[in-house]
Every structure is written in structure tokens, then in C-alpha cells.
């Protein structure tokens, strides 16, 4: 990651959001300026407390956490306790963190940080895009102020995970997703096409548990429920997709996509069965250049399928460094 970049992580902190944060926090060169929370895996207040728990565990309680949108632009929301547990962190029920969220709303924090640091802010959004849409409404010049946006969301040639066609983050607020993807800023979209092929296995989870540090023990504990869900609902064995941590690794340049065309992307916002579908003109992948001069979305379609191991090595390696310090 470029040293001048300030990362703002916008998340709905459940299990894979926690993995993404821990992955980023394990790299001292990554500068996280703030974390903002949104509804999704859990409600934004619980997501903020979960974020603070993760930051505290990683020794970074200094990073501010702001609470954002409690529901989508239509006033609705869907949470996912069946995937992430009643507490959003695999039913680990950690104590209340020592630090509280800040009073500034998420969208206002995003806008203020971008105004104070024009051209330096990189937004990493791994939940519904409601906070980013709200920030764009507050500051129409935000696309000019922000350096880049990386989003975990969507499904192109891959089945959806909440409907046959729609992925959860986009489906939770299609109107916001359309606003964000049409805003004209440079976007990297990391959809299910890539994230469902990058998995963490039971063997890797056990290695984290056996390592025995507070961070790896916590990671193994939250993954237990997550692997159960994916074994039952997706893979038929104990392994889980690396959705948010893969997007985090791509955002900071640790993972270089093998196929990522820059193409036009839109979102279906109607009320029919295709609601929340990401629609992309993927013909540009065969040309080696954008299919449309106005295209601003780089869609990650393929990575090398080794990220699960990278994630385990990063967390264990960071803990070895911490222990030797």
C-alpha cells in the first residue's frame, strides 16, 4: 500500500469483516484512518462494538470508529445472525470494549477525512454501500477527493448468495450500490466470482488455534461457526470463503488479480427477482482495455486461489513479531 494512502474501512463487522481488519492491522505499513459501520451482518451499533473489540485485541484502540446507516435507502434491512452468530462474531460474546464509538456519523467522517486529505483517502467498503451513498449526497465532489474505492460485492458470472442472482452487500441496498458504482470515481469491485474461490480450511483454522496467541485463538474461534455455515450451505466440507479479507488484500496491493477488466457496471433496482443483481459488460476482458471510455469499475474475476494460506501466515507472522518485540 502506498504510504501516503489513508484507508477508511466501511464494514458491517461480522466474521469476515473481523478477518479483514486483523489482516490489515497485521501490516504496520497500512494506515487505517478510521472505521465506519453499517447494517448488514449485524446492526451498525453492534458492528461498531465488534470493530472496537477487534481493534483492542490487535492493540489499536486509537483508531476511531463511527456508526453509520441502520437501514438501506428504502428504510429496510436484513441481518445475518445465521451466518455470523447472534453477536456477529461467531457467538464468542467478548466483553464490552474499553473505548466507545465516536459521535461523528459515518458519512460525515468520510467526507471530512476526504476534504482534509484530498487525493489520499482509499475507501474499502465490505458491507452494504449505504454510508458511501450518504457521503456522496453530503459532498458531490467526493469522487474528485477520494483516491480509490475498493468494494467487496456483487456476482458477475457466479451465482448470488442471497438470491440466484444477487450478492448480499449489493442486495442489501441496491439503490446505494447503483449510486456508488455510477459516481465516476475509480472502483475495484471484488465479487463472489473471486471470493468464493479463495477459501480458508479447517486445517488452517486449526493451525490458528494451535498457534495460541490472543489474535489467532480469537480468529479460530470465530471461524468455527463460519466454517459450519459454509459446510452446510455451500461447500459440503469445513471451509469458508474469504470475502472481505480478500478485498482488503487487493485494496492494499498484497494480491494482484489474474483477471480484472475495467468495464461498465450497473445494479438492478427493480422489485422483481433480479433485484440487487450486478450487471456488467464483461466483453472488455478480451480486449485488454476498457470496453467503454466511461468505464471506471475494475472487476476482479480471478485470483490465484492461495489467499487462505496467505491470511494464516500473515496473522501468525504478525503475532510472532509482536511476541519478539
Length of the chain: 325
The catalytic residue among 71, 78, 158, 243 is 243
Three cell numbers at 114?
476526504
d(CA 5, CA 148): 10
Cβ 224 vs Cβ 213: under 8 Å: no
Paired residues of 189 in beta bridges = 151, 299
d(CA 267, CA 198): 24
3-state class (DSSP) for residue 12? coil
d(CA 139, CA 319): 40
In the chain, the largest separation of any two C-alpha atoms, in whole Å, equals 56
Q: Is 122 a catalytic residue?
A: no
Q: What are phi and psi of 235, to 5 degrees?
A: -100, -20
Catalytic sites, residue numbers: 243
Amino acid at each position: 500500500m502506498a504510504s501516503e494512502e489513508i484507508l477508511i474501512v466501511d464494514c458491517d463487522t461480522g466474521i469476515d469483516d473481523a478477518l479483514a481488519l486483523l489482516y490489515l492491522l497485521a501490516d504496520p505499513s497500512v494506515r487505517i484512518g478510521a472505521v465506519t459501520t453499517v447494517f448488514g451482518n449485524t446492526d451498525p451499533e453492534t458492528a461498531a462494538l465488534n470493530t472496537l473489540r477487534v481493534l483492542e485485541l490487535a492493540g489499536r484502540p486509537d483508531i476511531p470508529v463511527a456508526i453509520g446507516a441502520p437501514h438501506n435507502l428504502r428504510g429496510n434491512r436484513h441481518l445475518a445472525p445465521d451466518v455470523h452468530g447472534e453477536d456477529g462474531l461467531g457467538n464468542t460474546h467478548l466483553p464490552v470494549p474499553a473505548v466507545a464509538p465516536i459521535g461523528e456519523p459515518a458519512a460525515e467522517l468520510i467526507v471530512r477525512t476526504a476534504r482534509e486529505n484530498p487525493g489520499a483517502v482509499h475507501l474499502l467498503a465490505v458491507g452494504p454501500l449505504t454510508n458511501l451513498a450518504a457521503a456522496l449526497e453530503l459532498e458531490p465532489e467526493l469522487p474528485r477527493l477520494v483516491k480509490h474505492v475498493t468494494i467487496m460485492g456483487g456476482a458477475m458470472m457466479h451465482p448470488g448468495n442471497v438470491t440466484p442472482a444477487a450478492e448480499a452487500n449489493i442486495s442489501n441496498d441496491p439503490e446505494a450500490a447503483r449510486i456508488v458504482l455510477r459516481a465516476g470515481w475509480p472502483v475495484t469491485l471484488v465479487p463472489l466470482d473471486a471470493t468464493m474461490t479463495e477459501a480458508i480450511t479447517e486445517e488452517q483454522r486449526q493451525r490458528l488455534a494451535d498457534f495460541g496467541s490472543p489474535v489467532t485463538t480469537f480468529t479460530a474461534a470465530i471461524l468455527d461457526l463460519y466454517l459450519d455455515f459454509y459446510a452446510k450451505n455451500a461447500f459440503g466440507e469445513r471451509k469458508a470463503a474469504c470475502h472481505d479479507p480478500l478485498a482488503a488484500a487487493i485494496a492494499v496491493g498484497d494480491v494482484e488479480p489474474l483477471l480484472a477488466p475495467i468495464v461498465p457496471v450497473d445494479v438492478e433496482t427493480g422489485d422483481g427477482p433480479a433485484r440487487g443483481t450486478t450487471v456488467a459488460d464483461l466483453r472488455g476482458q478480451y480486449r485488454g482495455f476498457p470496453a467503454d471510455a466511461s468505464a471506471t469499475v475494475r472487476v476482479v474475476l480471478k485470483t490465484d486461489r492461495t489467499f487462505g494460506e496467505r491470511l494464516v501466515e500473515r496473522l501468525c507472522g504478525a503475532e510472532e513479531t509482536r511476541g519478539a518485540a
